[in-house]
């Protein structure tokens, strides 16, 4: 049994990644390769401290540990913001998730990013991200949460656009930044609203006021909806999910860390953090649940038709985040965070696995893969473990958390239960479709490495991508273009297992992907999370229902069998199915045409034409009109008044003297002596 973690150690968790950022920034460029080691060491140390924090939190039964409050902002009598560290059960769980996944991803990145021109820049961004993410979960003030909320958004932007010389990556980064900003606007308004009504930024205080009924119902509902808008942007909920699939343009470890395990879960975390407030407002709760259900189902359906393995995983992430929101919406606070916890591990594992596959085949297009189980056995086994866990098969991690959600949904909101169940089946189907396409059958050639790799070795400083393949809009064409000199797959020396720096994190991550579910076997996580809630908040009691568990096993099993039948045994042809469901298929392939809608209608018409046009008119005629009008009226007046300036000093003299006389007379009349 360790002592309770002291405040300085908690500060160290936050400052270690920041220190790593600073060290990397001032590293001599000749030593740039040390950046990965620095980042991994710092975050590893933060991970150890996080385990200590978890231990302390377990001893405290999840109740907040008390730390001293620091003045952060003081504007006279107007505004005073104090911040303090806040370590309770929820924080402790998040800390462990963030630091452990981040640590393993740093190790993996050392292998994956080897030889990239922006190697040190990559680790600097990653350190910045980890520090921001830790800040987001560590502080007790909603204002600080907002600050770090935007900082993780910034790091996400920087890392999606890491290979900024690729137009697709630059566009994806911009899109992610803009779309999440929509949600953040709601979050900011919610913060201002609650400050006006509650007079504090302190989360615990807001929760207490909400439970005590000191804040009006309407205000709380709007506040909860605003927070949910922010969460929906960050956690890629419909209709703000469109940025996440595009964010796959970033390096794969980034996708694993930021866009699967941690940052996108920040939205779920925020809603969970504000859970007592949501509970007071049933409208906001059911709204969150409905959006979560919609997201879970619609994203899973898109995942079925994607041919790019990373996009399959991206839609899977959106779908699972929807699952968590759904859980929060029905009051299954514990189940939601438990799912966040297990999902972080197996989804990071899957993304890192896809990166490993990409390392070998130079592509993410599953149509160019196949048969990789022989050449990449470790990647294959770990990927299957991750998929089984995601699909929720007993006794892997995903089973326990998913089952809790399903069980709570059955008890509280029947329609969401069916949605969740169908989603579970689809999840198993698309994951095993991916496995059969990638690892079974014959190898279909992969793709040529991008020529960028050659340039990168020539000039180590040039920011040139070495990630080959990437996301091409038309993979077949790209393949043809890249492999123009020779088309035979034997021409380049075949796929191979990735270096141990990449394989090791895969192996390490498969342990929590298998075992993380047992973390709640003795209701440890439940105690932690419930302890984090203030007095008076109620949570749904998770109960194990055998019927639900059986259903939750049979439905994914059907999904797996279908995937096997279609993509491995080829009993049913995928093409004929696609032809049969032509309208549905093309609807899904085009992601419900949401991107088109946003681009043409929202961005093109609503913002560019209508709003932009109106503002341009306003600017041209009102703003410019005021400026030009001022100038014109001065000129008009002057054209009359200038005749007074005759150049005749005698006129001036007469004017001056008569003014003097006039003034004197006036003074004498108005105030007689």
Partner 1 sequence: MISLEHVLVVGALLFSIGLFIALSRRNAVGVLMGIELMLNSVNLNLIGFARFVEAPRPIDGQVFAVFVITVAAAEAAVALALAVAVYRLRQTIDVDRLNLLKW
Binding flag, residue 640, partner 1 (CB under 8 A)? no
Q: Rounded to the nearest whole angstrom, what is the least distance from the CB of residue 652 to partner 1 in the complex?
A: 10
Least separation in angstroms between CB 653 and partner 1: 5
> Among all chains, which residue has been given the structure tokens 């190697």?
119
Of the listed pieces 20-28, 80-88, 321-329, 645-653, which binds partner 1 according to CB under 8 A? 645-653
String marking each residue 597-636 x if it binds partner 1 according to CB under 8 A: ----------------------------------------
Q: How many alpha carbons fall within 13 Å on the CB side of residue 70?
A: 10
Distance between alpha carbon 434 and the CA centroid of its chain, in Å? Answer: 23
Q: Which of 78, 575, 643, 671 binds partner 1 (CB under 8 A)?
A: 643
Sorted by sequence, the CB contacts under 8 Å of residue 389 that are 6+ apart come out as 342, 345, 346, 349, 396, 397, 398, 399, 513, 514
Task: Report d(CA 146, CA 352) in Å as an integer.
Answer: 29
Provide, rounded to whole angstroms, the least separation between the CB of residue 648 and partner 1. Answer: 6
| Closest distance of CB 659 from partner 1, Å | 14
Q: Is there binding between residue 672 and partner 1 (CB under 8 A)?
A: no
Conformational region of residue 25, where left means phi above 0, alpha means psi within -120 to 50, and beta covers everything else:
alpha
Shortest distance in whole angstroms from residue 643 CB to partner 1: 7
Query: Distance (Å, rounded) from C-alpha 304 to C-alpha 312?
Result: 7
CB-based contacts of 454: which residues, under 8 Å, 6+ apart?
none
Question: Of the ranges 56-64, 270-278, 492-500, 640-648, which one interacts with partner 1 (CB under 8 A)?
Answer: 640-648
521 touches partner 1 by CB under 8 A: no
- Which of helix, strand or coil describes residue 79? strand
Given the rule CB under 8 A, which of 186-194, 202-210, 359-367, 652-660 is the region that contacts partner 1?
Answer: 652-660
Nearer to partner 1, 30 or 648 (CB): 648
Q: Does 647 bind partner 1 (CB under 8 A)?
A: yes
Total residues contacting partner 1 by CB under 8 A comes to: 11
**Among 30, 522, 576, 645, interactor with partner 1 by CB under 8 A:** 645
Question: What is the bridge-based pairing of β-strands 69-75 and 79-84?
Answer: antiparallel
* In the complex, minimum distance from the CB of residue 196 to partner 1, in angstroms, rounded to a whole number: 57
Residue 634 CB, shortest distance to partner 1, in Å, is: 15
429 token code pair? 């189907």
Residue 125's nearest CA partner among 82, 172, 163, 73 is: 163
Structure tokens at 628: 């030009």
Residue 403 DSSP SS3: helix
If the CB atoms of residues 593 and 657 are measured against partner 1, the closer one turns out to be 657
Stretch 330-369 residues interacting with partner 1 (CB under 8 A): none
Distance from C-alpha of 59 to C-alpha of 51, rounded to nearest angstrom: 12
- Closest distance of CB 651 from partner 1, Å: 9
Nearer to partner 1, 645 or 671 (CB): 645
CB of 638 to partner 1, least distance (A): 9
- CB-CB contact of 383 with 348 (8 Å): no
Of 235-243, 365-373, 472-480, 651-659, the segment contacting partner 1 by CB under 8 A is 651-659
* Rounded Cα distance, 400 and 384, in Å: 18
544 binds partner 1 (CB under 8 A): no
The Cα 560–Cα 549 span in angstroms is 17
Stretch that binds partner 1, among 100-108, 285-293, 639-647, 664-672 (CB under 8 A): 639-647
Task: Give CA–CA dist 227/213, Å, rounded.
Answer: 19
Cβ proximity to partner 1: between 615 and 656 the closer is: 656
Q: How far is the CB of 640 from partner 1 (least distance, A)?
A: 11
8 or 648, CB closer to partner 1? 648
Q: Which is nearer to partner 1, 573 or 658 (CB)?
A: 658
Stated as kind and residue range, the H or E segment containing 347 is helix 333-361
CB 639, min distance to partner 1, A: 9
CB of 603 to partner 1, least distance (A): 54
CB of 610 to partner 1, least distance (A): 48
Name which position in 30, 68, 576, 650 contacts partner 1 (CB under 8 A): 650
From the centroid of its chain, how far is CA 426?
Answer: 23
Distance CA 223, CA 188 (A): 10
Choices 160-168, 544-552, 625-633, 644-652; region in contact with partner 1 by CB under 8 A: 644-652
Q: Using CB under 8 A, which residues numbered 202 to 231 contact partner 1?
A: none
Contact pick of 214, 554, 627, 654 for partner 1 (by CB under 8 A) = 654
How many angstroms separate the CA atoms of 331 and 540, rounded? 6
Q: What angle do CA 568, 508, 148 make, to 5 degrees?
A: 105
The token duo for 77 is 């009598």
In the complex with partner 1, the residue whose CB is nearer, 26 or 649, is 649
Question: Cβ closer to partner 1: 576 or 645?
Answer: 645
- Would you say 582 or 642 has its CB closer to partner 1? 642
Binding piece for partner 1, criterion CB under 8 A, among 321-329, 388-396, 526-534, 649-657? 649-657
- Residue 399 and residue 387: Cα distance in Å, rounded? 11
If the CB atoms of residues 522 and 645 are measured against partner 1, the closer one turns out to be 645
Q: Is 395 helix (H, G, I), strand (E, B) or coil?
A: coil
* Contact residue for partner 1 among 642, 669, 672, 673 (CB under 8 A): 642
Nearest residue (CB) to partner 1, 395 versus 653: 653
The distance of closest approach from Cβ of residue 665 to partner 1 in the complex, given in angstroms and rounded to an integer, is 15
Transcribe 250-300 into DSSP letters: S-HHHHHIIIIISTTHHHHHHHHHTHHHHHH-HHHHHHHHHHHHHHHHHHH
Task: Name the minimum Å distance from CB 637 to partner 1.
Answer: 13
Smallest gap from Cβ 642 to partner 1, in A, equals: 4
User: Min. distance of Cβ 673 from partner 1 in angstroms?
Assistant: 17
Tell me the Cα Rg of the chain.
30
Q: Which of 518, 521, 657, 662 binds partner 1 (CB under 8 A)?
A: 657
> Is residue 646 a contact point for partner 1 (CB under 8 A)?
yes
The DSSP code sequence of 237-261 is: -TTSTTHHHHGGGS-HHHHHIIIII
The two tokens of residue 17 are 């990644």
Phi, psi of 164 (to 5 degrees): -70, -15
Q: Supply 275's token pair.
A: 């859970």
**Member of 653, 662, 666, 668 binding partner 1 (CB under 8 A):** 653
Greatest extent of the chain over all pairs of C-alpha atoms, in Å: 117
71 forms beta bridges with 82
Structure tokens at 636: 């008009």
Residue 649 near partner 1 by CB under 8 A? yes
Segment near partner 1 (CB under 8 A); pick from 149-157, 279-287, 551-559, 643-651: 643-651
Q: How many CB atoms lie within 10 A of CB 184?
A: 18
Backbone angles phi, psi at 105, to 5 degrees: -70, -35
- Residues engaged in binding partner 1 (CB under 8 A): 642-643, 645-650, 653-654, 657
């Amino acid at each position: 049994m360790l002592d309770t973690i002291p405040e300085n150690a908690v500060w160290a968790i936050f400052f270690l990644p920041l220190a790593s950022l600073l060290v990397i920034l001032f590293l001599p460029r000749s030593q740039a390769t040390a950046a990965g080691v620095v980042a991994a060491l710092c975050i590893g140390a933060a991970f150890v401290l996080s385990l200590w924090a978890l231990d302390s939190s377990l001893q405290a039964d999840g109740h907040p540990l008390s730390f001293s409050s620091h003045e952060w902002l003081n504007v006279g009598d107007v505004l005073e913001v104090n911040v303090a560290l806040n370590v309770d059960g929820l924080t402790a769980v998040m800390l462990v998730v963030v630091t452990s996944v981040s640590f393993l991803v740093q190790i993996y990145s050392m292998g994956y990013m080897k030889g990239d021109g922006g190697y040190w820049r990559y680790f600097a961004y990653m350190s910045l991200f980890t520090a921001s993410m830790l800040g987001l979960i560590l502080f007790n003030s909603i204002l600080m949460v907002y600050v770090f909320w935007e900082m993780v958004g910034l790091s996400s932007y920087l890392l999606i656009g890491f290979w900024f010389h690729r137009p697709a990556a630059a566009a994806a980064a911009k899109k992610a930044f803009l779309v999440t900003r929509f949600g953040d606007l709601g979050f900011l308004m919610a913060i201002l609203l609650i400050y006006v009504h509650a007079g504090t930024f302190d989360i615990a205080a807001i929760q207490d006021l909400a439970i005590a009924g000191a804040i009006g119902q309407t205000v709380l509902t709007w506040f909860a909806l605003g927070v949910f808008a922010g969460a929906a942007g960050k956690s890629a909920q419909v209709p703000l999910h469109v940025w996440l699939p595009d964010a796959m343009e970033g390096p794969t470890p980034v996708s694993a860390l930021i866009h699967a395990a941690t940052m996108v879960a920040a939205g779920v975390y925020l809603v969970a953090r504000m859970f007592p407030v949501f509970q007071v407002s049933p409208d906001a709760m059911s709204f969150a649940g409905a959006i979560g259900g919609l997201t879970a189902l619609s994203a899973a359906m898109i995942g079925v038709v994607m041919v790019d393995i990373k996009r399959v995983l991206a839609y899977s992430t959106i779908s699972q985040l929807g699952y968590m929101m759904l859980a929060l919406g029905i009051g299954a606070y514990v189940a939601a965070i438990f799912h966040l916890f297990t999902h972080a591990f197996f989804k990071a594992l899957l993304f890192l696995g896809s990166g490993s596959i990409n390392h070998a085949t130079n592509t993410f297009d599953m149509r160019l893969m196949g048969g990789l189980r022989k050449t990449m056995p470790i990647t294959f086994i770990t990927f299957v473990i991750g998929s089984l866990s995601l699909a929720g098969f007993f006794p892997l991690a995903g089973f326990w958390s998913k089952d809790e959600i399903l069980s709570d949904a059955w008890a509280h909101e029947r329609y969401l239960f069916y949605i969740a169940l169908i989603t579970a089946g689809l999840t198993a189907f698309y994951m095993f479709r991916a496995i059969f396409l990638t690892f079974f059958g014959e190898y279909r050639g992969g793709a040529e490495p991008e020529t960028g790799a050659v340039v990168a070795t020539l000039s180590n400083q040039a920011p040139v991508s070495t990630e080959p393949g990437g996301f091409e809009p038309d993979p077949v064409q790209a393949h043809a273009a890249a492999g123009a000199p020779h088309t035979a797959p034997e021409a380049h020396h075949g796929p191979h297992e990735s270096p141990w720096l990449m394989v090791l994190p895969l192996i390490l991550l498969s342990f929590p992907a298998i075992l993380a579910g047992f973390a709640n076997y003795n209701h440890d996580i439940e105690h932690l999370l419930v302890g984090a809630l203030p007095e008076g908040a109620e949570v749904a009691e998770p109960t194990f229902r055998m019927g639900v568990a059986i259903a939750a096993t049979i439905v994914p099993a059907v999904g797996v069998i279908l995937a096997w039948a279609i993509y491995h045994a080829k009993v049913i042809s995928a093409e004929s199915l696609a032809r049969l469901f032509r309208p549905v298929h093309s609807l899904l392939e085009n992601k419900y045409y949401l991107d088109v809608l946003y681009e043409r209608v929202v961005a093109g018409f609503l913002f560019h034409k209508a709003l932009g046009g109106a503002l341009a008119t306003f600017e041209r005629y009102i703003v410019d009109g005021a400026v030009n009008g001022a100038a014109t009226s001065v000129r008009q007046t002057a054209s009359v008044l200038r005749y007074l300036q005759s150049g005749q000093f005698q006129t001036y003299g007469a004017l001056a003297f008569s003014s003097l006389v006039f003034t004197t007379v006036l003074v004498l009349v108005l105030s007689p002596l």
